[in-house]
Structure 1
Amino acid sequence: MGEVVTTLGIIGVTQARPRHADELPILFLHGVGSDKSVWQPQIEEFGHRQHVIAADYPGYGESDFRPDATRDDYAAAMLALLDTLEIERAHICGLSLGGVIAIAMAAKAPDRIASLILADTFAVHPDGQAIHDRSITAAQEMGMAALAEARVDALLGKEPPPGLRDKVILTMAQIPLAAYRLGARAVWLADQRERAAAIFAPTLIVCGKEDAITPPALSDELAGLIPHARSAFISGAGHLANAERPAAFNRLLHEHLETVD
């Protein structure tokens, strides 16, 4: 784990960097109610074969807060992180808000995107404004710890792995309210249909079949927007597909990387 200076301040990162690795790096981007720790199953799986990075957005985890940061500011921060790490091109894997940021990165710097893996996300959410308003009101009235307790079961499928429910609650409870407010605005109010349609990087779209937050229909819609995108759905997984069913998620990611590398 380390801290990397970027143009937007200190960005907290977790990295695995093999001594000899020919494959391009992977940057993992977390959701609005999470932080970089959600990607531990993927860091452990892929970190021995290529440089992998999981990063916190400004205000999350170990990253410095930036007042009024937008989704495009988050994207700029992640591109600046790649600059600091001297990474010219990378695979970008984002879940939920992370997928929204990945699409924004592809719009801002398409030549730096080797491929995209967009998990449990969307171009535009039909209930985005209502979800945003409910989330912010609840966070302000209840506090993040109580919100995490109230929201966790909606995030997960029917049979999450042992310990994951408690981990999700703990992680979400530690997010500062100000950072959560900016993250919620960045994800739920996004409309990136034009950006998605302009993506030319190889793209894998993944969604948990039990995802009630960003249901499979939104992945189907996203796949219809992105030229030549491929879709896959994971049985038994809710909104946090990579953590709920890591073996299935990792297998899909392996297959995708083998196809595009």
Structure 2
Amino acid sequence: MKPHHDNEDSRDRPTVLLLHSLGTDRRLWRYQIDSLSTDYDVIAPDCRGHGGSMWSEAVTVDDWVDDIHRVVREHCGVHVIGLSMGGIQAIAFAGRYPDLVKSVTIANAFAKLPEKVADARVTGSATTILDKGMGAFAEEYLDQTLTQSLDASDYESLFEAIASMSPDAYLASASATFRADVIADLAHITCPALVVTGELDAKIPDERTAEIVAGITDVRYASIPRAGHLSCIENPTHFNNVVKSFLARVDDRAVVH
């Protein structure tokens, strides 16, 4: 995981860690980086095998947790925000390193998929990639996932991130994502949590979201209108308002107590 600070001179401020989705890279968070950087030290790393991060082997949830720990271990009380694959990573890290996490936001994610669903998603990705290549897969994925017309530069950044990945890196990351089981980690999350979904997200069934909400003690829920699975870039204004309001409440509570 390749770290990237967007506020190199702001380490005295609260820290926000942004964890992107499968196939994308830190550019998924372009609107959140701009919005949050006024008040927070923002770290937006590329997950291993994505963006500018190196890839050399298979990956597991434990590997992701270790990567995140290396990035944030020198920070005290990090606000962790993850979407989809990044949401799984956020759950696992918040559950295993509760002393390092001030709050966790879990967006458009699941804690565990039924085995048949997981296998179908991995197999479907592999079939398209091996038959047509990463470029065709990227186009197909975005056509099936996006529910809003994006600015051309937003679309191109998403397409380029996915299309430029090596098939091995993508498929190994997909297997780790879709076959992940972080249910047990939910009970160990002690910080305030925000669970976010997109109103139009067809990739995350309601029962998967409910499973996350039910598993965390101190939790809030929000739905982002006019947004699908990539809610942070499909309706960034509403996403940012929800997240910033949540972070402000957490920080205020920390000051009071």
Using structure 2 for the length normalisation, give the TM-score.
0.90
CA contact (8 A) 1:30 1:95 kept: yes
Q: Give 1:160 shift.
A: 3.0
Equivalent position to 1:234, from 215, 224, 232: 224
* Structure 1 range deviating more: 248-257 or 100-109: 100-109
Out of 133-142 and 38-47, give the one that drifted further: 133-142
**2:150 matched to which residue of 1?**
161
Q: CA RMSD in A?
A: 1.7
The answer to whether 1:123 aligns with 2:104 is: no
Q: Is the Cα contact below 8 Å between 2:198 and 2:223 reproduced in 1?
A: yes
CA deviation map 1:43-91 (0-9, x unaligned): 10011211001111112111121312212101111110113xx313301
Aligned to 2:92: 104
> SS state of the match for residue 55, structure 1?
coil
Is the 8 Å Cα contact of residues 108 and 196 (structure 2) preserved in structure 1?
yes
2:79 to 74, 83, 91: 91
Structure 1: segments with no counterpart, 5+ residues: 1-10
Q: Which residue of 2 aligns with 1:247?
A: 237
CA–CA distance in structure 2, aligned partners of residues 215 and 160 of structure 1: 23
| Equivalent position SS for 1:12 | coil
- Matching residue of 1:182: 172
1:21 deviates by 6.7
Q: 2:163 aligns with which of 141, 166, 173?
A: 173
Normalised by the size of structure 1, how large is the TM-score?
0.89
More strand by share: 1
Shift, 1:154, TM fit: 1.8
Aligned ranges 1:2-151 → 2 under 5 Å: 11-17=1-7, 19=9, 23-83=13-73, 86-126=74-114, 127-151=117-141
Determine the structure 2 residue equivalent to 1:201. 191
Between 41-50 and 57-66, the greater mean CA deviation after superposition: 57-66
Q: Is the 8 A contact 1:18 1:47 kept in 2?
A: no
Amino acid at match of 1:162: D
1:3 maps to: none
The one-letter code matched in structure 2 to 1:161 is L
Structure 1 residue 166, shift from structure 2 partner: 3.6
How far, CA to CA, are the matches of 2:227 and 2:168 in structure 1? Answer: 29
For this pair of structures, how many residues does the alignment match? 248
* Separation in 2, partners of 1:167, 1:260: 32
